[in-house]
Chain A
């Protein structure tokens, strides 16, 4: 037994488009195969609009059998397949392949079953995240992971990206809230990964598939866990005159044995940007604000809010406000939720970075970002899922000015490097996609990347599923000129230098 062969990042284009269109049309309902340029245009990018490619065709299957048929045809013809949910992803995971088929799952949007006693929902991949909670609300249940884009993003996309949300410190990421997946392999076989129980025997293929960015299979059905809706929730808004004090307050909340339902931080640039846009009433003189939410029964929330307020006061908060009712709680959150669009109103373009760091390094990382902001002469407000250590610096620039664009790209790369240096990661929740493929070479060493590629080859020997995303080749890492240097002794022993 030797090592698995290395997968080529983009397979050679051998498919004859006319023949492929004919074959795919035969297995899909009328109007479910798009192949004219004007029809393909809307699919040229996802939420990361800086990267665009028009696919060869877009297939829009209505059920699992049609997904299988498309996969079989593409597999036989060695045509790449890029699965796509709602197209809201932020790392270009659903950016098409010019020689490939984009497999849009938006027509598979039925909620198949809600079992209130067992607290599960069985849904198709195109169902919107929020639609699950809406449907479960009648039973006093909800689906916990709540990415900011939950109005629009699909559960299939959430599975592909292992999406989080503002409540994931307490309630977990997508991977913690899935019971069963139906998956179609690159060869077109349908498999069940999981079950109606809480686990399945053998290797945990489900953990591997969740967050695999469409590189290992296509998810056609998802069984999610539903939780009882908390009786009530309340938010503490605390203002600080330094980001360090705000960072200490976060640590002190955790040290007090509290796991808040949500714990978010915004720096002054972010609160100022937001305030012009939504008027959330944030204290603008503060260097940083924290929003800390408690949920549960009336008794539990009252007791916890009291403890949180005490910790904030002891940590040097200059001002503390408690949401007095549901309307005010939503108002406090409205500013945080509007942070990205608010920044977008000030300057036409921004890059949203997604590094995760150990919480205790927050102060120095924010200082580092402020230094880089001066160096590149670009503004960079920060919003921070403080409970999880997931930092979203928003690099503001004008893409019409090429110099600004180039500076923004370099600035972003330096921030990700900084996150790795302090022991963090290049992506907490948005995925690698095409956006961070080069930084993968910094975070991982050749032997680790080789393991990822071996896993990819085990599921997809011809490299047809979402090629060129998420896992870089060593060749690409060498071209990019980056390598993981740890203890100053790592090399690319098996690679020619150029």
Chain B
């Protein structure tokens, strides 16, 4: 495995020497997201394997090329899971790609995001040096928290070699309930319930129905069901997978936008189909509305819109305040001073 690291380091140093740029790649399952796929492809997939996993430490450390499915299977063997429930967006999705994309799934509002579960990362910088940030322990405040910054950086700040994640036990039982409800009532209800001690682990409103998932002990679920009402759904696992992987019909048609906003924002009334997750704080819109409409709606609702999938390559993907954009540019220049890694993937400007 050290040979592979040496080879990757050699490729990075070579690119630096020749003034070339690199496009870091796991399985390519998230190629749909971002601006441009510039640079020579550098495949990280061969650097694979679980480095350590001990269920009693609640930590798994694995190399970037490890298939996400293998990580999940390994954890299932210890009756544990990745609590942020990452979308795969492809059968061969890797841990490195999962980390670089930083996406979290339906359980996010209850359990936390991918970056919340990052404990440490091993990264190759533009000079081909291996850097270790964070660690394998639950609490660590030594040095800047650069391992969490790698989450969602889309391979633009360095080559992620290895990741350590906190893991959690799988819930004893799960139960999903459906409620026929209009959008405004659903938004109000999920927020109200989130303020009560209920074992709700996911919410999804689409096509005039609200679906809740409860996770916990048998007793806890029974008590919550009595309080909430609703009707249990069949085949809940495949429903939540269709939401996580965006195969649910409501994600289709037009450009897919992601609005991360104040959770109690009333119905946005924008054209297109909509899926609402995360207790109202995440609204997916499959729409042909212009980018500026989405940006303005998100801004008004205290948050941000991101073009998630589809659309013309040069349509803006996100809108950052000039001061924030300037800081992001400086951060990129600090960690990748030669600009080797994934130029213009995440920011059109650099």
From B20-28, B55-63, B178-186, give the one contacting chain A.
Answer: B55-63
Take A1-B338, A198-B260, A448-B133 as given contacts and tell me if A388 and B138 are in contact as well, using a CB distance cutoff of 8 Å: yes
Whether B135 lies near A425 (C-beta < 8 A) is yes
Q: How far is the CA of A364 from the CA of B169 in the complex (A)?
A: 27
A191 in contact (CB, < 8 A): yes
Q: How far is the CA of A257 from the CA of B170 in the complex (A)?
A: 8
Residues of B within 8 A of A360 (CB): 54, 56-57
Expressed in whole angstroms, the minimum distance between the Cβ of A129 and any Cβ of chain B is 16
Whether B195 lies near A202 (C-beta < 8 A) is no
Expressed in whole angstroms, the minimum distance between the Cβ of A317 and any Cβ of chain B is 18
Whether B302 lies near A255 (C-beta < 8 A) is no
Instruction: Indicate which residue in A189, A254, A304, A432 contacts B58 across the interface (CB closer than 8 Å).
Output: A254
B17 in contact (CB, < 8 A): no
Whether B337 lies near A454 (C-beta < 8 A) is yes
A207 in contact (CB, < 8 A): yes
Residues of B within 8 A of A196 (CB): 261-263, 301-303
Whether B152 lies near A425 (C-beta < 8 A) is no
Q: How far is the CA of A69 from the CA of B259 in the complex (A)?
A: 35
Residues of B within 8 A of A3 (CB): 337
Whether A300 lies near B263 (C-beta < 8 A) is no
Expressed in whole angstroms, the minimum distance between the Cβ of A492 and any Cβ of chain B is 13
A211 in contact (CB, < 8 A): yes
Whether A448 lies near B143 (C-beta < 8 A) is yes
B113 in contact (CB, < 8 A): yes
From A35-43, A74-82, A277-285, A436-444, give the one contacting chain B.
Answer: A436-444
Residues of B within 8 A of A195 (CB): 260-261, 302-304
Q: How far is the CA of A464 from the CA of B272 in the complex (A)?
A: 50
Residues of A within 8 A of B301 (CB): 196
Q: Interface size bucket, B side?
A: 35 or more
Residues of A within 8 A of B196 (CB): 140, 228
Expressed in whole angstroms, the minimum distance between the Cβ of B160 and any Cβ of chain A is 14
Whether A251 lies near B56 (C-beta < 8 A) is yes
Whether A452 lies near B197 (C-beta < 8 A) is no
Instruction: Indicate which residue in A211, A424, A425, A447 contacts B125 across the interface (CB closer than 8 Å).
Output: A447
Instruction: Indicate which residue in A197, A457, A458, A459 contacts B260 across the interface (CB closer than 8 Å).
Output: A197
Whether A205 lies near B197 (C-beta < 8 A) is no
Whether B217 lies near A231 (C-beta < 8 A) is no
Whether A458 lies near B131 (C-beta < 8 A) is no
* Chain B residue with Cβ nearest A355: B137
Residues of B within 8 A of A116 (CB): 195
From B64-72, B87-95, B245-253, B317-325, give the one contacting chain A.
Answer: B317-325
A471 in contact (CB, < 8 A): yes
Residues of B within 8 A of A359 (CB): 56-57
B315 in contact (CB, < 8 A): no
From A50-58, A96-104, A164-172, A320-328, give the one contacting chain B.
Answer: A164-172
Whether A389 lies near B138 (C-beta < 8 A) is yes
Whether A452 lies near B112 (C-beta < 8 A) is no
Whether B337 lies near A4 (C-beta < 8 A) is yes
Whether A185 lies near B142 (C-beta < 8 A) is no
Residues of A within 8 A of B347 (CB): 202
Expressed in whole angstroms, the minimum distance between the Cβ of A437 and any Cβ of chain B is 10
A245 in contact (CB, < 8 A): no
Take A141-B195, A197-B281, A457-B334 as given contacts and tell me if A299 and B220 are in contact as well, using a CB distance cutoff of 8 Å: yes
Residues of A within 8 A of B264 (CB): 115, 117-118
Whether B331 lies near A455 (C-beta < 8 A) is yes
Interface string of A383-426 (1 = CB under 8 A from B): 00101111000000000000000000000000000000001111
Whether A451 lies near B125 (C-beta < 8 A) is yes
Whether A458 lies near B331 (C-beta < 8 A) is yes
Expressed in whole angstroms, the minimum distance between the Cβ of B9 and any Cβ of chain A is 12
B333 in contact (CB, < 8 A): yes
Take A197-B261, A199-B113, A254-B58 as given contacts and tell me if A356 and B337 are in contact as well, using a CB distance cutoff of 8 Å: no
Whether A204 lies near B333 (C-beta < 8 A) is no
Whether A205 lies near B324 (C-beta < 8 A) is yes
B192 in contact (CB, < 8 A): yes
Residues of A within 8 A of B195 (CB): 116-117, 119, 139-141, 226, 228
Whether A197 lies near B304 (C-beta < 8 A) is yes
Residues of B within 8 A of A303 (CB): 217, 219-220
Expressed in whole angstroms, the minimum distance between the Cβ of A47 and any Cβ of chain B is 15
Residues of B within 8 A of A191 (CB): 321, 323-324, 327
A48 in contact (CB, < 8 A): no
Q: How far is the CA of A200 from the CA of B260 in the complex (A)?
A: 7
Expressed in whole angstroms, the minimum distance between the Cβ of B332 and any Cβ of chain A is 7
Take A192-B324, A197-B260, A388-B138 as given contacts and tell me if A229 and B197 are in contact as well, using a CB distance cutoff of 8 Å: yes
Instruction: Indicate which residue in B220, B259, B328 contacts A202 across the interface (CB closer than 8 Å).
Output: B328
Interface residue ranges of B165-216 to A (CB < 8 Å): 168-170, 172, 188, 191-192, 194-199, 216
Expressed in whole angstroms, the minimum distance between the Cβ of A177 and any Cβ of chain B is 10
Q: How far is the CA of A161 from the CA of B140 in the complex (A)?
A: 11
Whether A297 lies near B324 (C-beta < 8 A) is no
Q: How far is the CA of A204 from the CA of B104 in the complex (A)?
A: 14
A156 in contact (CB, < 8 A): no
Residues of B within 8 A of A471 (CB): 143-144
Q: How far is the CA of A207 from the CA of B335 in the complex (A)?
A: 16
Residue of B102, B115, B139, B323 with most chain A CB atoms under a 10 A cut-off:
B139
Residues of B within 8 A of A425 (CB): 135, 137, 139-142
Instruction: Indicate which residue in B58, B109, B136, B149 contacts A207 across the interface (CB closer than 8 Å).
Output: B149
Instruction: Indicate which residue in A203, A251, A470 contacts B331 across the interface (CB closer than 8 Å).
Output: A203
Expressed in whole angstroms, the minimum distance between the Cβ of A91 and any Cβ of chain B is 9
Whether B140 lies near A428 (C-beta < 8 A) is yes
Take A230-B197, A254-B55, A358-B57 as given contacts and tell me if A388 and B116 are in contact as well, using a CB distance cutoff of 8 Å: no
Take A440-B142, A458-B334 as given contacts and tell me if A204 and B115 are in contact as well, using a CB distance cutoff of 8 Å: yes
* Chain A residue with Cβ nearest B112: A176
Expressed in whole angstroms, the minimum distance between the Cβ of B216 and any Cβ of chain A is 7
Expressed in whole angstroms, the minimum distance between the Cβ of A487 and any Cβ of chain B is 10
Residues of B within 8 A of A168 (CB): 138-139
* Chain A residue with Cβ nearest B299: A195
Whether A257 lies near B149 (C-beta < 8 A) is no
B48 in contact (CB, < 8 A): no
Q: How far is the CA of A192 from the CA of B321 in the complex (A)?
A: 8
* Chain B residue with Cβ nearest A423: B136
Expressed in whole angstroms, the minimum distance between the Cβ of B30 and any Cβ of chain A is 15
B residues whose Cβ falls under 8 Å from a Cβ of A = 54-59, 79, 102, 108-109, 112-113, 115-116, 125, 127, 129-133, 135-146, 148-149, 151-153, 157, 168-170, 172, 188, 191-192, 194-199, 216-217, 219-220, 222-223, 259-264, 278, 281-282, 301-304, 306, 317-318, 320-321, 323-325, 327-328, 330-335, 337-339, 346-347
List 9 tightest A-B contacts by C-beta distance, closest first. Answer: A196-B302, A197-B260, A196-B262, A197-B303, A257-B169, A428-B139, A207-B148, A201-B318, A458-B330
Show 9 residue pairs from A and B whose CB-CB distance is below 8 angstroms, ordered by the A residue: A119-B263, A197-B259, A202-B347, A204-B151, A389-B137, A428-B138, A428-B139, A432-B143, A458-B331
